[in-house]
Structure 1
Amino acid sequence: MRFVRFLNQGQPVLGVITAEGVRVLGNESLESLLARGVDLSTHGADAIGPLVEIAEDAYLPLMQRPTKIICAGLNYADHTKESPYDQPDYPTLFPRWNSSLTAHNKPLIRPRVSNTLDYEGEMAVILKSGGRHISKDDALQHVAGYALFNEGSVREYQFKSPQWTVGKNFDDTGAFGPVLVTADELPVGGKGLLLETRVNGKIVQSANTDDMLFDVATIISTLSEAVTLEAGDVIVSGTPAGVGFGMTPKVFLQAGDVVEVSIEGIGKLVNPVIDEV
């Protein structure tokens, strides 16, 4: 099943994409459904709400307040080579905050304080359950589905200190959506999928999710050694080479640019870039 969050008659609602079109499920969020242990595939199949069309400007972040957003950096070897870091033998993990999220067709905002906004096309993993000390063999049983994420990074602020958190959390720089595709509709662990990012129609990132150094099961298991994972947590699984920071000379996003992130079997996430007012 494929779930989407959007404004309908001025109210945020969750919908499911069916053969007939988008059917409204109601105003309960994905976060709430997952916390209640609802099986998304069954819930979507049982939908009886009205069929609607989604206006281009009506999309909302797939989840407004995930319980946690945890990002994996340096998870593609080719991206590490274009960064100022050596390849670590342990996942590079950092948080992202809900206030940084934006939606499909909504702008990524280049902040007043820096001209170094960069794109990072990534696959997001949404958990339906969690716990501690989850084995790698059991980890994928906790996955509800997958989505697209543009993990926009303000490089100047990312590299102001040894940890990256501020540069990864500017408002309206983390595009999330437009759909959640349930795990049963994709290869196990989201493997073998083509991931591409385009800027103004030009392909700048192209890789396969098989290229991740730490796969989805490994990231979940490793996180759970330290952190109690929960239903509704989001794991953003890393970006491949091709970011603007890695180019010579460096190329950062400008107002008027359009960034598209696509992953085979999931869809496309599109965001224009504007300057902060």
Structure 2
Amino acid sequence: MTLNNQTVLLTGASGGIGSALAHRLALAGARLLLQGRDRTRLNRLLAELPHTERHRVLAADLLNPEERRALVQQVRQLGGLDVLIHNAGTSRFAWLTDQSAAAVTEQLALNLTVPVLLTRELLPWLRRPGVILNMGSAYGAIGYPGYSVYCAGKAGLRGFSEALGRELAGSGLAVLYFAPRATRTEFNSPATVELNAALGNHTDSPEWVAEQALIALQRRQKRRWLGWPECLLVRLNALFPGLLDRALARQQATIARFAGHSPDKEIPS
């Protein structure tokens, strides 16, 4: 699909991948509505984009129903969307027993519940033909120790993308699931960076990930996984999960150490 003069809502625009993707979309000629929680960072991003006058920013916390409604109202004022990109997300590298109930709830809400609700609220305002692009993760298909809650959210987003795409078959709306692997952004905690270095895990630049996301969007690829051996591991985990069980069991002590986990810790409230 061509993106020239297409209206695109990008959530989580002020983050690493979001910012890089905003630049790619703007260069492709899209008209952007950029959502994030930090108004200062959004304004800075806006000032860096070509054709600044074509774009809008909206600082909103998507976990707040009133601020989410304000975002929907902005879309109505624009007259609708051609592309909806769910990029906002969060993660916490920690054993489940080391996370508070609030931390668990926030991750599941932002990574899964918010995209589902926002899609539901915006479906009447998506023009046909149009695209919904859900930014997932390799961890949406590979359960990884230290990311149990994040994996749950992204696996749910993958299932939602697949089911909604089938619901909308023949409607002119395509639903895409795009799954990067580890990316070098501030999204990762220092402990995550150290773990990836210790285990030799490959990471990608946000600029490269954004370029691949744009290609997936333009080609309307329903499913796209990034990185090697992650693409292979996704398939192996689907067919032979026991192989990954054994491989990750050998790394468990190292992962737990970087996650700061001790079996003697009390479960936080």
Question: TM tier, shorter chain?
Answer: under 0.3
Query: Which one has a bigger Cα radius of gyration?
Result: 2
Structure with bigger strand share is 1
Give the TM-score normalised by structure 1: 0.27
Structure with bigger helix share is 2
- Greater relative CO (CA pairs within 8 A, separation 6+): 1
